[in-house]
């Protein structure tokens, strides 16, 4: 069950409600987010919802049978909107485009990408400074120094930043320089990281694990929410299968299914999803039609020279066409 408490509830009332919840045999978890104050009751016993609902201090109460609670659409029907400021809003009714290189490489590269994004009215730039690489000898990112430069150039140009955080200790150093924290597929179930991002208060884009189920992804998002942060979006980025004609299998089934299960925005990453530059466009358009709230993809001025993931990175010309087509597809979807 989820109990939403009245704003600024006095401690005595809160204590009474907690006691009542425990009294009916439920474990009471108190959750305080940037938006509201809740009690998440966990238990199987049957109870009369009215007994709790009428208590002073209770604003709202719902039964939620899903394993995840606060991110469930059974509780919150209205879709979550994530406001990054300056008119950049992610979620229902908006189609968010996030584009940029796999890795931040140098100042010139950032300038060129920013210029490309501005010319196409794209407001969010992606780019990793801490890179999870399969080989320890591969380029592992420019680190904080790269992030500061990335932030400086983007803020001067009104562009928001999404970048990956790999471990808890990086959050504090990164928090002032990012608009959205990305949790990569390899960290999708790093519960300590998820707990800490719940406290960090900046929006989080949570990727699905390499072999992660949707249930696991949703439970991972619940970690962030239950630690205090409601600003979460989920990202389908392809899952591993036996097929080796492409890097991953972009599971577009996940889009409508996730959107039915949760109120959180759902974003698709076609670059990692298929791993082949030439096929990023059709998969992006398919993602739009499947109902995605946005797309995050890799672009670079010279993909063949990119420090990482060049094989799945589109050049600016391809990117421009992709942006135009995605917007057309979105307008068509909205007209249905
Ligand atoms: C990335 O976005 O560059 C990345 C490493 O993604 P993923 O975690 O999905 O592999
Ligand atoms: Mn990449």
pLDDT in tens, 225-246: 999 999 999 999 999 999 999 9
Q: Within a domain: residue 153?
A: yes
Question: DSSP letter string over 282-306?
Answer: HHHHHHHHHT-SEEEEEB-SSGGG-
Mean per-residue pLDDT over the chain, rounded:
97
One domain for residues 294 and 195: yes
Q: How far is the CA of 321 from the centre of ligand 2 (A)?
A: 21
One domain for residues 243 and 299: yes
Of the residues 185, 212, 246, 303, which should be mutated to test ligand 1's pocket, given the most ligand atoms within 8 Å of the CB?
185
One domain for residues 152 and 30: no
Nearest protein Cα to ligand 1, atom 10: 185
Task: Note the pTM of the prediction, 2 decimals.
Answer: 0.98
One domain for residues 131 and 272: yes
Q: How far is the CA of 205 from the centre of ligand 1 (A)?
A: 11
Average pLDDT, stretch 75-84?
A: 97
One domain for residues 93 and 46: no
Tell me if residue 8 falls in helix, strand or coil. coil
Residue 66 has pLDDT above 90, yes or no: yes
Q: Within a domain: residue 106?
A: yes
The number of the ligand nearest the C-alpha atom of 309 reads: 2
Residue 185 CA: which ligand 1 atom is closest? 8
One domain for residues 274 and 198: yes
Q: How far is the CA of 320 from the centre of ligand 1 (A)?
A: 22
Of the residues 102, 127, 211, 306, which should be mutated to test ligand 1's pocket, given the most ligand atoms within 8 Å of the CB?
102
CATH number for the domain that contains residue 32: 3.30.70
How high is the pLDDT of residue 224? 98
The number of the ligand nearest the C-alpha atom of 166 reads: 1
Q: Within a domain: residue 184?
A: yes
> pLDDT tens digits for 27-45?
999 999 999 999 999 999 8
Average pLDDT, stretch 105-115?
A: 98
One domain for residues 135 and 34: no
Q: Within a domain: residue 86?
A: yes
The number of the ligand nearest the C-alpha atom of 269 reads: 1
> pLDDT tens digits for 174-197?
999 999 999 999 999 999 999 999
pLDDT tier for residue 248 given thresholds of 50, 70 and 90:
very high
Q: How far is the CA of 273 from the centre of ligand 1 (A)?
A: 10
Q: Within a domain: residue 75?
A: no
Question: For residues 127, 113, 88 and 250, what is the CA-based torsion angle, rounded to 10 degrees?
Answer: -50
The number of the ligand nearest the C-alpha atom of 312 reads: 2
> pLDDT tens digits for 123-176?
999 999 999 999 999 999 999 999 999 999 999 999 999 999 999 999 999 999
Considering the chain, what percentage of its residues have pLDDT values greater than 90? 98
Q: Which sign, positive or negative, has the C-alpha torsion 287, 288, 290, 296?
A: positive
Q: How far is the CA of 272 from the centre of ligand 1 (A)?
A: 7
Q: Within a domain: residue 303?
A: yes
Q: What is the DSSP letter of 239?
A: B
Whether the Cβ atoms of residue 99 and residue 126 lie closer than 8 Å to each other: yes
Q: Within a domain: residue 71?
A: no
pLDDT tier for residue 273 given thresholds of 50, 70 and 90:
very high
One domain for residues 13 and 117: no
Domain that holds residue 16: 2-62
Average pLDDT, stretch 210-233?
A: 98
One domain for residues 52 and 91: no
Burial label for 186, CB within 10 Å (0-12, 13-18, 19+), is middle
Residues with CB under 6 A from ligand 1: 102, 128, 132, 184-186, 207, 237, 269, 272
Residue 201 has pLDDT above 90, yes or no: no
Of the residues 133, 164, 280, which should be mutated to test ligand 1's pocket, given the most ligand atoms within 8 Å of the CB?
164
Whether the Cβ atoms of residue 288 and residue 331 lie closer than 8 Å to each other: no
One domain for residues 19 and 126: no
The number of the ligand nearest the C-alpha atom of 310 reads: 2
Residue 209 has pLDDT above 90, yes or no: yes
Of the residues 166, 269, 308, which should be mutated to test ligand 1's pocket, given the most ligand atoms within 8 Å of the CB?
269
CATH number for the domain that contains residue 237: 3.20.20.70
pLDDT tier for residue 77 given thresholds of 50, 70 and 90:
very high
Total tally of structural domains belonging to the chain:
2
Nearest protein Cα to ligand 1, atom 9: 185
Q: Within a domain: residue 99?
A: yes
Residue 186 CA: which ligand 1 atom is closest? 8
C-alpha 176/C-alpha 282 separation (Å) is: 36
Q: Which sign, positive or negative, has the C-alpha torsion 178, 180, 184, 187?
A: positive
């Amino acid at each position: 069950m989820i109990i939403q408490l009245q704003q600024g509830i006095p401690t005595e009332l809160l204590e009474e409600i907690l006691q009542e919840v425990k009294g009916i045999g439920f474990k009471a978890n108190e959750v305080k987010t940037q938006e509201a104050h809740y009690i998440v009751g966990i238990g199987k016993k049957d109870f009369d919802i009215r007994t709790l609902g009428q208590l002073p201090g209770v604003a709202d109460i719902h039964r939620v049978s899903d394993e995840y609670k606060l991110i469930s659409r059974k509780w919150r029907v209205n879709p979550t909107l994530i406001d990054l400021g300056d008119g950049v809003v992610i979620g229902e009714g908006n189609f968010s485009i996030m584009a940029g290189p796999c890795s931040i490489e140098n100042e010139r590269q950032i300038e060129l990408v920013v210029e490309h994004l501005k010319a196409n009215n794209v407001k969010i730039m992606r780019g990793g400074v801490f890179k999870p690489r399969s080989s320890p000898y591969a380029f592992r990112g420019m680190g904080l120094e790269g992030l500061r430069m990335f932030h400086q150039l983007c803020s001067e140009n009104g562009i928001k930043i999404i970048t990956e955080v790999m471990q808890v200790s990086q959050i504090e150093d990164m928090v002032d320089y990012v608009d959205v924290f990305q949790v990569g597929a390899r960290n999708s179930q790093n519960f300590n990281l998820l707990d800490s991002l719940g406290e960090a208060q900046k929006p989080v884009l949570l990727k699905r694990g390499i072999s992660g189920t949707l249930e696991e992804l949703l439970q991972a998002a619940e970690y962030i929410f239950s630690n205090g942060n409601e600003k979460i979006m989920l990202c389908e980025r392809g899952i591993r299968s036996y097929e080796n004609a492409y890097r991953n299998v972009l599971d577009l089934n996940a889009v409508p299914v996730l959107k039915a299960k949760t109120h959180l925005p759902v974003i698709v990453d076609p670059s990692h999803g298929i791993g082949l530059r030439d096929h990023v466009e059709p998969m992006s358009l398919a993602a739009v039609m499947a109902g995605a709230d946005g797309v995050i993809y890799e672009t670079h001025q010279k993909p063949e020279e990119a420090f990482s993931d060049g094989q799945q990175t589109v050049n600016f010309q391809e990117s421009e066409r992709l942006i135009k087509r995605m917007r057309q597809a979105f307008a068509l979807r909205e007209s249905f």
